[in-house]
Structure 1
Amino acid sequence: MVQVKVFDCEHEKDLEESMNKFLQKIDEKNILDIKYNVAAMVELDEDEQIYCFSAMILYRK
């Protein structure tokens, strides 16, 4: 069965840690694809830039 696991973090290091923990549980041959995305937004009230680092792992269970 094909499954997906989605990760969403504010910091790239947090995303890396979360994904590595999950990938340790998956046999390499069962990983089908990994998608990565970064989004940036500006908080107008606070003049602060916010980042969203996300990834999706497509794998066989």
Structure 2
Amino acid sequence: MTRPQPEYHPAAQQSRRERSGLAFLLLAALVLGAVVLGVWMYNALLRGDVPEEGPAAAPTTT
């Protein structure tokens, strides 16, 4: 049984390369967005608005 010879399509190879470039740009944008979101969440949630005198003590009741 003979195998059919593979056909060469130079245009298809070029479009595949363009698609991989676009995929790389999308991946880089997602990674950058994740880093920016992580920094924002760290600043907003973890650092928070901690008073300078430290944690508030419970009021004393008499």
TM-score range, shorter chain: under 0.3
Which one has more relative contact order, counting CA pairs under 8 Å at least 6 apart?
Answer: 1
Q: What is the TM-score normalised by the length of structure 2?
A: 0.26
Structure with bigger gyration radius:
2
Q: What is the TM-score normalised by the length of structure 1?
A: 0.27
